[in-house]
């Protein structure tokens, strides 16, 4: 059965998902009004069709894939389009937002009488011929979009209400990205104190799995640190402002802000992290 | 060659180290003035000999093994004893203190003209017949205490000045205990949001080494959280007050304070953590 799926916006993840869907026979719409030349090109390569708002509102499924800070505004824009239509699309928020935010988005989409699904993406954007990241879905309508499996996406149902998929995404990212955060902070500090080699040796002996993870995670993190700032604020919000652990994630936001500025500047810390990951810490006797 | 080693104080780690040394033929002194009945008993079982301050100052080596907040005061007490003696013991600070603190302690011991070594212990207290934790040692006099290998301790020299061994201890603890901190915060939050099973399943699939580590680290952490509060403040101090990552470790101190209070009270979070580690998260449909 042919399906029309709208994806907003055509960013790195959104266009990679679009490519997977269109290569598997789906019709994929997006909104290209006012977008840059680079985005238009990326959308075209991914098989996305530029469409007016009415056509997007007529899609079978709308996937919201945007930076966390933009998720709520996009939901409002979608609700305004959908409220006027008779046939309602299933709207899926796939963003790294916290449970409170996704519940507000559920209300916004509900005000347009459209079915809503809470989604969370874990993993890298799908590559041509490669594997799909995990699309976790929760809420009463989660099974309505299991059809996306026919178009190459790894859809996994989380038993639970709207919020459960976002809680999974938040807690998973809080562990995996948090480990990159503490690992990078400690590796930079140890290197500056002349203890990088000893740290590497001790981890290799007593915590080889953590060392192996850091060797992958530290270089991978550097170009993404700027995107993780908002996600760390979302995780802090997931815990709640008075939660005894929320300060940890506000701290990560500040640290990733520093690493993003470093990566965009002298890359002093970035080069220490790459050297540690590659096992070439400088001996300091 | 017989050696006289003084260990202050006879706490859990100190007395376990004493037992290892005395079982291997060393004479181990400690100060028992004003200590509790339980401490006197633990010291006796560990083969420690209660001694006056002058006898302690006459030891070949003095190991300082105390909670981080007490390390500097003990150094001052030792310096006052040692400054009057002709023969100077080698003083080793084995505590989880930051680089600035250990440099201040070096000055204090130096004011008594005694050789000083920066030490850091990584691992569990030595068990009878079991293996020794790693005793990392740095500074110009580090090799003076390599003799402790003959008495069963795993002494490892870190090439570098006073501060290098403490930097290693801080950065290693910052990663390993930090992982327990983020893991526990996220597991508690995911469980309360009904996403614990999904989190466990996704970690098992995509990050099995992290899951395996959390299964060990979370239950192990609960009875120790109260001790980790001060250590997290030390790690924050290791980074420095204006460092962009120091807030992360202040946040961990706050979180471990919560977990310690929880463990000493209703143990609500402690039981969620144990259930997750044991793989018996409750299904919430």
Q: Any idea where the domains of chain B sit in the sequence?
A: 4-160, 167-277
The DSSP element (H or E) to which A102 belongs, if any, is helix A99-110
With CA atoms as reference, the chain A residue closest to B156 would be: A198
Distance CA A108, CA B128 (A): 64
- Residue A205 contacts residue B265 (beta carbons within 8 Å): no
Question: What is the rounded average pLDDT of the residues A141-167?
Answer: 94
| Interface contact A160, partner B, CB < 8 A | yes
Distance CA B144, CA B61 (A): 9
CB contact under 8 A, A258 and B245: yes
Distance CA B55, CA B43 (A): 17
CB contact under 8 A, B285 and A168: no
Query: If you count residue pairs, one on A and one on B, with CB atoms under 8 Å apart, how many are there?
Result: 215
- At A130, is the pLDDT very low, low, confident or very high (cuts 50, 70, 90)? confident
Tokens of B260: 């310690």
pLDDT at B281: 53
B284 vs A contacts (CB less than 8 Å): 159-160, 164
CB contact under 8 A, B164 and A210: no
From first CA to last CA, the distance across chain A in angstroms is 68
Interface with B, mutate which of A133, A139, A202, A243 (most B CBs under 10 A):
A202
Rg (CA), chain B: 21
Whether A5 shows a pLDDT value over 60: the answer reads yes
Bridging pattern class, strands B61-64 and A154-157? unpaired
CB contact under 8 A, A194 and B285: no
Taking only the tens place, the pLDDT of each residue in A170-214 is 999 999 999 999 999 999 999 999 899 999 999 999 999 999 999
Architecture of the structural domain at A4-161? 3-Layer(aba) Sandwich (3.40)
Q: Which of A161, A176, A255 sits opposite B245 (nearest CB)?
A: A255
| Interface contact A226, partner B, CB < 8 A | no
Taking only the tens place, the pLDDT of each residue in A66-82 is 999 899 999 999 999 99
Distance from CA of A158 to the nearest CA of B (A): 7
CB contact under 8 A, A160 and B284: yes
pLDDT at A284: 41
Q: Which of B207, B214, B248 sits opposite A255 (nearest CB)?
A: B248
Interface with A, mutate which of B163, B202, B203, B208 (most A CBs under 10 A):
B202
10 Å CB burial of residue A140 (0-12, 13-18, 19+) is: exposed
The DSSP element (H or E) to which A168 belongs, if any, is helix A164-192
CA A96 centroid distance within chain: 5
CB contact under 8 A, B167 and A195: yes
Distance from CA of B18 to the nearest CA of A (A): 24
pLDDT at A285: 34
Q: Which of A134, A181, A199 sits opposite B171 (nearest CB)?
A: A199
CB contact under 8 A, A206 and B122: yes
Looking at every residue in chain A, the average pLDDT score rounds to 93
CB contact under 8 A, A247 and B250: yes
Helix, coil or strand: residue A275: helix
Q: What is the dihedral of CA B10, B106, B243, A221, to 10 degrees?
A: -70
CB contact under 8 A, B181 and A257: no
Query: What is the mean pLDDT, run by run of 10 residues, along chain B of 285 residues?
Result: 88 93 95 90 93 94 94 96 95 95 97 97 88 94 95 93 95 98 97 93 94 96 94 95 95 98 96 92 44
A253 versus A1: the higher-pLDDT residue is A253
B99 vs A contacts (CB less than 8 Å): 193
CB contact under 8 A, B258 and A244: yes
Cβ-Cβ contacts under 8 Å for B126 (sequence gap 6 or more): B16, B17, B19, B20, B132, B133, B152, B153
Distance from CA of A109 to the nearest CA of B (A): 22
Please enumerate, as own/partner, the contacts of B145-149 that have beta carbons within 8 Å and a separation of 24 or more.
B145/B61, B145/B90, B145/B92, B145/B117, B147/B1, B147/B3, B148/B5, B148/B21, B148/B61
Backbone angles phi, psi at B90, to 5 degrees: -80, 125
Distance from CA of B250 to the nearest CA of A (A): 7
**Residue A237 to residues A143, B133, B209, B255, Cα–Cα distance (Å):** 28, 39, 27, 16
Distance from CA of A111 to the nearest CA of B (A): 24
Interface of A with B in 243-282 (CB under 8 A): 243-252, 254-255, 257-258
B198 vs A contacts (CB less than 8 Å): 136, 158, 160, 164-165, 168
Give the CATH H-level superfamily of domain B4-160: NAD(P)-binding Rossmann-like Domain (3.40.50.720)
Specify the DSSP class assigned to residue B217: H
Question: ipTM score here?
Answer: 0.91
Q: Is the peptide bond before A58 cis (omega within 30 degrees of 0)?
A: no
CB contact under 8 A, B255 and A249: no
Q: Which of B186, B198, B246 sits opposite A136 (nearest CB)?
A: B198
- At A1, is the pLDDT very low, low, confident or very high (cuts 50, 70, 90)? low
Tokens of A30: 């997006």
Nearest Cα to A192, choosing from A279, A278, A268? A268
CA B74 centroid distance within chain: 16
């Amino acid at each position: 059965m042919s399906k029309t799926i709208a994806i907003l916006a055509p960013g790195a993840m959104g266009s990679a998902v679009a490519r997977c869907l269109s290569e598997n026979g789906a019709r994929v719409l997006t909104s290209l009004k006012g977008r840059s030349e680079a985005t238009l090109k990326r959308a075209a390569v991914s098989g996305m069709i530029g469409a007016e708002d009415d056509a997007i509102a007529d899609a079978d499924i709308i996937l919201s894939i945007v930076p966390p800070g933009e998720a709520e505004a996009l939901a409002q824009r979608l609700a305004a389009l959908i409220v006027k239509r008779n046939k309602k699309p299933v709207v899926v928020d796939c963003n790294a937002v916290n449970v409170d935010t996704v519940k507000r988005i559920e209300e916004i989409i509900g005000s347009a009488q459209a079915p809503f699904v809470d989604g969370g993406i874990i993993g890298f954007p799908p590559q041509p011929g490669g594997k799909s990241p995990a699309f976790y879905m929760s809420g009463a309508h989660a099974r309505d979009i299991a059809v996306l499996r026919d178009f190459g996406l790894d859809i996994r149902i989380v038993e639970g209400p709207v919020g459960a998929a976002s809680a999974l995404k938040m807690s998973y990212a809080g562990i995996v990205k948090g480990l990159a955060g503490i690992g990078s902070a400690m590796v930079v500090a140890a290197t500056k104190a002349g203890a990088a080699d000893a740290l590497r040796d001790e981890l290799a002996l007593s915590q080889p799995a953590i060392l192996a993870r850091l060797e992958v995670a530290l270089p991978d993190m550097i170009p993404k640190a700027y995107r993780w700032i908002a996600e760390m604020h979302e995780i802090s919000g997931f815990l709640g402002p008075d939660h005894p652990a929320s300060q940890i994630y506000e701290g990560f936001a500040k640290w990733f802000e520093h690493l993003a500025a470093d990566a965009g500047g002298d890359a002093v810390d970035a080069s220490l992290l790459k050297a540690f990951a590659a096992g070439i810490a400088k001996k300091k006797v």
